[in-house]
Amino acid sequence: MHILLQKLLSKRGIKDINELDSIPPVKGVASEKESYEKWNRILIGEEVTVAKISEFCKAQIDLIESQWKNMDNEPRKNERLIILHNTYSTILKAISAPEVERAQLEQYLLEQIK
C-alpha cells in the first residue's frame, strides 16, 4: 500500500482495506474499494511492459469495433475510428513482428537441416 493511501485511511479511522465498501453507492460510480485499488495501482506506478501495451491495444481495437456497430455514427466519426483501428493494429503488428520473423527463420532453418 502506498504511504499516501495509508495516511488517508489512517486519518479516516480505517485500519484495514477490507473495511472499505465493495458495493458502489450509485450505479456507474466506483466503490470505495475499487477507487482504493485504482489509486494504489496509479501511485505504485506499475511497470509498463510490452505485454501490457499489447493488451491495451487489443482492448482499444475491441472498443472501436463495437462502436462500428452503431449505424447512427457520422461519417467523420467512422473515419476517426478507422484511423485509430489502423494505428492500434499497426502497433500490435510491430510488437508481434519479431516473433513472426523468428518463427519464419526457425522454419527455414529446419527445412535446411532436413
Contact between residue 35 and residue 24 where contact means Cβ atoms under 8 Å apart: no
pLDDT truncated to tens, each residue of the chain (114 aa)? 778 888 888 888 888 888 888 877 777 788 888 888 888 888 887 788 899 999 999 999 999 999 999 999 999 999 999 999 999 999 998 888 888 888 888 888 888 887
C-alpha dist (Å) from residue 74 to 79, 97, 106: 9, 34, 47
pTM of the predicted model over 0.75: no
3-state DSSP: the chain helix, strand, coil percent, rounded to 5? 75, 0, 25
